[in-house]
Amino acid sequence: MVDITEKQPIFRRATASGSIKLRKSTIEAIKSGQVKKGDVITTARLAAILAVKDTPRLIPLCHPIPITGLNVNFEFEERRVKAIVTVTSEGKTGVEMEALTGVAAALLNVWDMVKYLEKDETGNYPETVMETIQVIEKRKGEPIRA
């Protein structure tokens, strides 16, 4: 790990997003609550929250940091579910890895819950694609005064 001992804690915020492309009928099943495994968005939100908190366990060289805020939102498009995760901290290193990890976990949980609706006759997923997981904003503020 990189030594951050000498760095001063400051306010940090990062927002990441990504989407999963699905069949129109799958999007409708999610919206109408007709997915066999249950509430897709609630489960994906909880998965994102857990993933953000567990980021240092999943990414070995990532520092454990104090998470001071976490927001998970979803947007529906005609053929996509978009996940947006914002993480805040008052610490010595950034929170973009936590935001990215949250988005990835949310999208993986969506896929898991709807995969039976997405399979073709051979058991494959020709229309299902996770897309463009990226940091859309990263900010840091002034050092925290004791």
| Pairing mode, strands 10-21 and 129-143 | antiparallel
What is the 3 state secondary structure string of 27-95? HHHHHHCCCCCCCHHHHHHHHHHHHHHCHHHHCCCCCCCCEEEEEEEEEECCCEEEEEEEEEEEECCCC
Q: Considering the candidates 3, 39, 54, 112, report the single residue annotated as catalytic.
A: 112
* The token pair that represents 117 in the structure block: 């609706």
Q: How many helices (H) and strands (E) does the chain have?
A: 4, 4
| Distance separating alpha carbons of residues 16 and 98, to the nearest angstrom | 9
**Is residue 120 annotated as a catalytic residue, yes or no?**
no
The residues that are catalytic are 112
